[in-house]
A = this chain, B = another copy of it.
Amino acid sequence: MTEADLIRLFVSPFLPDEVLKGVGDDCAVVKVGQESLLITTDTMLEGIHFDLGYFDPYHLGRKLAAVNLSDIAAMGGRPLFATLNLEWPPSRGLKEARDLSSGLLSRLSEAEVALVGGDTVKAPRIGLTLTIIGRPEGQGPIYRQGARPGDIIYVSGPLGASGAALELLRKGIRPPEPLLRAHLDPQPELNLGQQLARDGLATAMIDISDGLGIDLFRLCQASGVGAEIHASFIPYPEELDLLPLENPPLFYILAGGEDYRLLFTAKEERGAEVQGLGAYPIGRIVSGDHPVLIDEKGRRRNISFAGYDHFR
């Protein structure tokens, strides 16, 4: 059984017209009366997605919010309301719960999101489900599916920091501050996502949650196109060259995951506007069906490998 097998079982066989997008993008998009809504939800389980050995409850709360906010950012949306389902062991102290709450509420209030409800249940281990409802800005939502050959591919910032930090944390090494921060307290790029939607700049967008390789592959699949990106154009933190890591920087860039940067495409003629927003061009959409990386020596590599599948 793969994760995809499981997901397929829970897809409605038909959807009403009010569902503009079901499974298969960063958020579901639905219409209620005259309004379009974005809906996203994530579950994080102790022992699977986090380990309180190196994740304090405060930052866990912030990250839970950030992961969901990043999905709203990736549609060019404004987040509005959240619900929390808290699975909590009665043996845990009230202090851990208070720290978790204060991290979660701090990150939500930075994004002007109100926590409006949820459910609290007894459980053997901590489990957290956050659901956020938002609205697309301007000309949004921006889907994964609008990229066309000739479009320029951008990332919103350096990649690989979070994956490298996780490797060090698992070995009991404290990563340098910027890498640690990238892993424990990622910054959802709401302002950039909203600006791209208001200005109608991005033709397609996704957030980089599992690594540039698989997430660019997803964008290509949704758009029915291929991509060529240049290794030397991809920004990454210099620490990846300096630290005693198990792999070269490109590994963390392509497959490290949890960067929560935006990956998007735009028409070439709007390049000056996009770069004015601080994004980095890394290549171009081409006809085809998968992404190719061109390395420093001009060699072409297929990078459409799948991410890690927990269920396989």
Residues of A within 8 A of B (CB): 1, 3, 5-7, 9-13, 15-16, 18-19, 21-23, 27-28, 30, 32-35, 37, 39-45, 47-49, 80-81, 83-88, 90, 93-94, 97-98, 101, 104-105, 108-109, 112, 114-125, 127, 129, 131, 133, 135, 310-311
Known: A33-B34, A116-B15, A116-B22. A121 touches B41 (CB 8 A): no
Known: A34-B33, A34-B34, A119-B43. A28 touches B98 (CB 8 A): no
B19 in contact with A81 (CB, 8 Å): yes
Distance A135 CA – B37 CA, assembled complex (angstroms): 13
Return chain B residues, CB-CB under 8 Å to A117: 22-23, 27-28, 39-41
Known: A6-B88, A48-B123, A118-B10. A80 touches B18 (CB 8 A): yes
Return chain B residues, CB-CB under 8 Å to A116: 12, 15, 19, 21-23, 28, 30, 39
Known: A41-B119, A90-B310. A12 touches B114 (CB 8 A): yes
Return chain B residues, CB-CB under 8 Å to A115: 10-12, 22
Return chain B residues, CB-CB under 8 Å to A13: 105
Within 8 Å by CB of A87, from B11, B45, B131, lies: B45
Within 8 Å by CB of A85, from B81, B120, B129, B133, lies: B129
Return chain B residues, CB-CB under 8 Å to A129: 41, 43, 85, 119, 129
